[in-house]
Amino acid sequence: MALLEELHAWGLPPLPVTSDAGYGEVPTFRLGLETRGLDYMTGVPSTASAQPAHAHPSLPAWSGRGRRPTRRRYPDRPTTVRELVLAAGQQACVDLIWRRGSRGLQRSRFVALPVRPAGKVLLDAYPDGLPLRWLLAEWPTGQAEPIRYWLSNLPLSTPIVELVRLAKLRWRIEGDYRDQKDALGLDHHEGRSWQGWHHHVTLVSAAHLFCTLERRRSRPWVPARR
């Protein structure tokens, strides 16, 4: 979070944050992004808990003894993102081309559902009701169930092609990191000072920017489409 706040202090425009499930499964991480006004697309495990979009909390009936209930509760226990997507079924899948890679056009099927991510941290943060968030799942043809899941706080008007683009953007980031290490020498630094490391990373980043601009000029990126 400190790095994101530093970028904000530089005056850079706030862009969506992407992460793998190692970060995305932590509710406090997603909540921290929301409280800072940042959009995100984070991977989550299939066991991440959520309420369906139509679920609404209500005050429990008062038994007549003790204090009257003041905290709203959901009538049903939360389920998992896996179960929500399976309930939607394969008929909810959309076939998309999301990337042009070395093996040609990358195609898969995706499901996008509005859900209400659950858990004690989020219930405490939103006592009046869990907000709607996007649940995106990749469900390739021939698979019995989805293989990847993401949660996002992007507006509910966001088209599925944009959700898929951001979800898959993390792999491009991983590819850029690999190129910086293997081709441009990011992991070749052997100095022991912060200033030396800073200079090294800056030069590698500048070289990677040049390579990226040259690559984009010769091979335009193909956006996700049906």
Look at residue 219 in the predicted model and tell me its pLDDT. 61
With contact defined as beta carbons under 8 Å apart, do 48 and 27 qualify?
Answer: no
In terms of DSSP bridges, do strands 148-152 and 133-138 run parallel, antiparallel, or are they unpaired? Answer: antiparallel
Cite the DSSP H helix spans in the chain: 2-9, 21-24, 27-35, 81-88, 120-125, 160-182, 194-218
The structural domains of the chain, with segments of one domain joined by +, span 13-54+73-168
**DSSP H/E element including 131:** none
**Predicted TM-score of the model (pTM):** 0.80
Digit-by-digit pLDDT tens for the chain (226 residues) are: 677 777 777 777 888 899 889 999 999 999 999 998 999 999 999 999 999 999 988 877 777 677 776 667 888 899 999 999 999 999 999 999 877 766 778 889 999 999 999 999 999 999 889 999 999 999 999 999 999 999 999 999 999 999 999 998 877 777 777 788 888 888 887 777 888 888 888 888 898 888 888 877 766 554 445 5
Residues 6+ apart with CB under 8 A from 161: 96, 223, 224, 225, 226
